Amino acid sequence: MANYSSRVRTDIARWLQADLIDVSTADVLTRDVEANERKSLSFGSILAMMAALLFGAAVLIFVAANWEAIPRLARVAALFAIILAGYVGGGALKTRDHAAIGEALWIIAAAAFGGSIALIGQMYHLSGDETSALITWGAGTALAAVALRSNPLTVASVGIADAWLFLRGFDYFGHAEFPHLFVVVASVLFAISFWTRSQAARHLIILSVIFYLVLLFTEHETLQVAVPLIVVSTLLFAAAIFAAGPVDRILQLGGRLPLHALIGFLSGLAMVQFELAGESNNSAFGIASAVALAGIVAAIVLGGRESRGLRWVAYAGFAFELAIIYVVMLQSMLDTAGFFLAAAVLLGLLALVILRVEKRMRARA
Amino acid sequence: MTGKRLIISAVALALVQIGFLSWIIAGRAAILRDGRQVLLRVEPIDPRDLLRGDYILLSYDISRIPVKLIANIPAGKLTSDDTPIVVRLKQGADGYWEATAAWFGQAPAPAASDEADIVGHVAEGWDLSVATTIAPNYGIERFYLPEGEGMAIQNDMRVRPFGIRVAIAADGAAQIKALMDGDKTLFEEPLY
């Protein structure tokens, strides 16, 4: 692949020189080659990325060890050197057709930036918690993603934002405030992902936003989170199915928006069900469960044929629904043996449904 | 993106990030160099940080400010807002500095020459009735140590008084300068 793209690039340069195409066309063509090149993740580039992540982790842990044998200023200088060498060296390699190694070096540089923040905190005993350090780190990484137009760096900054959300959301450091800032962060990163052509980042962001809403729900236990999530997910699902082409041209999610919408829909309904489960009157819970099951069936009928992933999300949702309906509606009647019997029956039922649907899908395909 | 532009972006990016980090270091070093020095009495709480390694959590005497010291609580206010707090310090007879007054927001008048103002932060929701205390943060509640040394020092700190020498900038930002065991300096921080 690298061979082909490098050949095309020399061709583009030649066409440009021969005045067959103008500069902007050459730029567009080069970008297109690059974008499509990225889609084929080779084994080598995966290994390079893993090596970069390990190296980055080594840098961070080395900082954490606070090893006195090397003076602090030397440690700072070493990290600064890694930042400079990583970004510039990565850029140089990228222009010389070693894109995978170049991106890996950028990841190392971003890790060194995070390590430097931690080291400064350690040098001056800054007691601001890790979450604010994570914000700075994530912002620096997002800046790097924009400046270098890098897909892996975009994913990395989403990952750092998620780590921040996770730590804050579960109140790891004992703060009372809820991380509402995440919505802003997610929107900014979503916008960045178009510039950096990072479809992976967009998928991760959408899932993270759903996770944020789940956290919000556990914090406040309110239907004000769940109902809009259900409505928006339903609308998005409909849009993604009935206007698949235009919607995907805008969002560029590789046709996987229905999957996200279904996850959002089921998460929202699960919130409603948890909220209603405690009430003595089960009829509202029954309605919510019926809506969830209907939604799952509708999703399979409307989008199941095109997407195996969607079907498996639907099955997982179905399994969850069976479990929660059983626990809420029937638990009082049965003892432990009864529970196992019921679990066996439910699992058997689930297997039956999955097997039948998969068979029908195969037959139709 | 053409090759040259990418390299230029990469260089600019690296310089921006390194510049940003250097700016933080320079700011902190400036406080250490120029700040007013005060000695505060501390006791340890508990160690360890995910990214930055071993540390002792420090609780200062001034980490608990009696509400009656705060001069500008509006009448009828029951709980605190999320706000900065200025705590005025004065050296006691034993050499340790103690809080003599405090204000939410800003101090009405600058500190006298034998006093120092440290700026902390108060979380929302502290009870403001007269007999209680509130717990501001000053950003100096951690002391990082080489791996493995945290526990020993922390255990010593439980049996005899330790102090932290702190440098306070003109704007009230505080920076740990040294860890003191009685009169003995255990760790002295270099500027960089």
Give the pLDDT score at A146. 94
Is there a single domain that holds both residue A7 and residue A96? no
Residue A1: what pLDDT?
44
Find the CB nearest B21 among A95, A116, A147. Answer: A116
CA-based nearest distance B176→chain A, Å: 7
3-state secondary structure of A75: helix
Note whether A118 and A246 are same-domain residues.
Answer: no
Residue A32's CB is within 10 A of a number of other CB atoms, namely 11
DSSP string, A320-340: HHHHHHIIIIIGGG--HHHHH
Domain count across chain A: 3
Rounded to an integer, what distance in angstroms lies between the CA atom of residue B61 and that of residue A259? 55
Tell me if B51 and A65 make a contact (CB, 8 A cut-off).
no
The minimal CB distance from A83 to the residues B14, B32, B51 is found for B14
* Beta carbons within 10 angstroms of residue A287's beta carbon: 12
Q: Which of A242-246, A311-315, B131-135 has the lowest mean pLDDT?
A: A242-246
| Residue B80 per-residue DSSP state | -
* Residue A250 within a domain: yes
Find the largest Cα–Cα distance for chain B: 69
In which region does residue B105 sit, left (phi positive, over 0), alpha (psi from -120 to 50) or beta (all else)? left
Among B159, B38, B168, residue whose Cα is nearest residue B96: B38
Helices vs strands, H then E, count in chain B: 2, 11
Give the C-alpha separation, B83 to B59, whole Å: 20
Q: Which residues of chain B have pLDDT under 70?
A: 1-2, 44-53, 148-152, 154, 157-158
Measured distance CA(A13)–CA(A207) in Å, rounded: 41
Give the mutation candidate from A28, A106, A125 for the B interface (greatest B CB count, under 10 A). Answer: A125
Cβ–Cβ of A126/B142 closer than 8 Å? yes
C-alpha span between A27 and B2 (Å, rounded): 8
Per-domain boundaries in chain B: 35-188
Residues A252 and A361 in one domain: yes
pLDDT recorded at residue A140 = 95
At residue A21, what is the residue type? I
Q: A127 and B141 in contact by Cβ < 8 A?
A: yes
Task: Give dist(CA A231, CA B87) in Å, integer.
Answer: 51
Query: Can you tell me the distance from the alpha carbon of A311 to that of A330, in angstroms, rounded to the nearest whole number?
Result: 27
**Closest in A67, A91, A118 to B10, CB measured:** A91
Residue B127 carries which side chain, given as an amino acid letter? D
Q: Residue B86: its pLDDT value, please? A: 94
Comparing CA positions, the residue from B55, B18, B47, B50 lying closest to residue B176 is B55
Residue A299 lies in a domain: yes
| Boundary-marking domain end, from A127, A156, A185 | A127
Paired strand residues for B37 = B167
| DSSP E strand boundaries for chain A | none
Domain-located, residue A34: yes
For residues A84 and A27, membership in a common domain is answered with: no
Average pLDDT score, chain A: 84
- Which residues neighbour A99 within 8 Å (Cβ) at sequence distance 6 or greater? A2, A34, A37, A38, A45, A93
Domain contains A179? no
Cross-chain residue pair B17–A64, CB shorter than 8 Å? no
Beta strands in chain B (DSSP E): 36-44, 55-60, 65-66, 83-91, 97-104, 115-122, 133-134, 142-144, 162-168, 174-181, 184-188
Q: Strand order of the sheet with strand B162-168?
A: B142-144, B55-60, B36-44, B162-168, B174-181, B184-188
State residue B46's pLDDT score. Answer: 57
Q: Do A140 and B49 touch (CB under 8 A)?
A: no
The tens digit of pLDDT for each residue in A195-237 reads 998 889 999 999 999 999 888 888 776 778 888 889 999 999 9
Range of A59's domain? 42-127
- Across the range A279-295, mean pLDDT stands at 80
Chain B residues in contact with A149 by the CB 8 A cut-off are 1, 6
**Interface residue A109 vs chain B (CB under 8 A):** yes
> Bridge-partner residues for B104, per DSSP?
B85
- Output the pLDDT for position B44: 64
Residue A334: pLDDT over 90: no
A65 contacts A30 by C-beta, under 8 angstroms = no
Chain A nearest CA to B56, separation (Å):
10
What distance in Å separates the CA atoms of residue A335 and residue A337, rounded to the nearest whole number?
6
Q: Decide if B2 and A27 are in contact by the 8 Å CB cutoff.
A: yes
For residue B141, which residues of chain A lie inside 8 Å, CB to CB? Answer: 127
Look at residues B20, B36, B58, B64 and name the one whose alpha carbon lies nearest to residue B150. Answer: B58
A218 to A169, A270, A276, A300, B180: CA distances (angstroms) = 10, 12, 14, 29, 45
Residue A331's pLDDT band (cuts 50, 70, 90): low
* Domain final residue, candidates A104, A127, A150: A127
Q: Name which of B18, B32, B146 is nearest A80 (Cβ-Cβ).
A: B18
Same domain, residue pair A243 and A332: yes
Looking at per-residue pLDDT, the higher value among A189 and A72 belongs to A189
User: Whose structure tokens read 């929202």?
Assistant: A268
Contact A325, A292 (CB under 8 A): no
Residues B166/B40, Cβ–Cβ less than 8 Å: yes
**Residue B125: its chain A contacts at CB < 8 A?**
176
Question: Closest Cα partner for A132 from B189, B18, B2, B137?
Answer: B137
8 Å CB contact between A123 and A66:
no
From residue B20, how far is each of A117, A126, B15 by CA, in Å? 10, 16, 8
Sheet with B83-91, side-by-side order of all strands: B97-104, B83-91, B115-122
Of the two residues A347 and A315, the one the predictor is more confident about is A315
A14 and A122, same domain (yes or no):
no
pLDDT at A192 over 50: yes
Beta carbons of A65 and B10 less than 8 Å apart: no
Q: Is residue A82 part of a domain?
A: yes
pLDDT in tens, A87-133: 999 999 988 888 889 999 999 999 999 999 988 888 888 876 677 88
Helices (H) and strands (E) in chain A, counts: 15, 0
Contacts of B5 (CB under 8 A, 6+ apart): none
Band the pLDDT of A337: cuts 50, 70, 90. low
Identify the closest residue of chain B to A32 by CA–CA distance.
B1
Compute the C-alpha angle B119/B125/B129, nearest 5°: 90
The answer as to whether A355 is a domain residue is yes
A27 and A95 assigned to the same domain: no
Could you tell me if B52 and A64 are in contact, meaning their C-beta atoms sit under 8 angstroms apart? yes
Question: Between these two residues, A221 and A347, which has the higher pLDDT value?
Answer: A347
Please answer whether residues A175 and A207 qualify as being in contact, where contact means their C-beta atoms are separated by less than 8 angstroms: no
Question: Cα–Cα distances in Å, from B33 out to A132, A143, A266, B174, B175?
Answer: 25, 32, 58, 12, 10
Dihedral Cα A63, A68, A71, A74, nearest 10 deg: -30
Residue contact B17–A143, C-beta within 8 A: yes
Q: What is the pTM of this model?
A: 0.74
A351 Cβ contact partners less than 8 Å away, ≥ 6 residues apart: none
Q: Does residue A160 fall inside a structural domain?
A: no
Residues A257 and A338 in one domain: yes
Please indicate, yes or no, whether residues A239 and A360 belong to a single structural domain of this protein.
yes
* Nearest-by-Cβ selection for B143 from A65, A117, A125: A125
Say yes or no: A321 and A307 in one domain: yes
Other CB atoms closer than 10 Å to residue B127's CB: what's the count?
12
Q: Which residue has the higher pLDDT, A361 or A263?
A: A263
DSSP state of B68: G
Does the residue A256 lie in any domain? yes
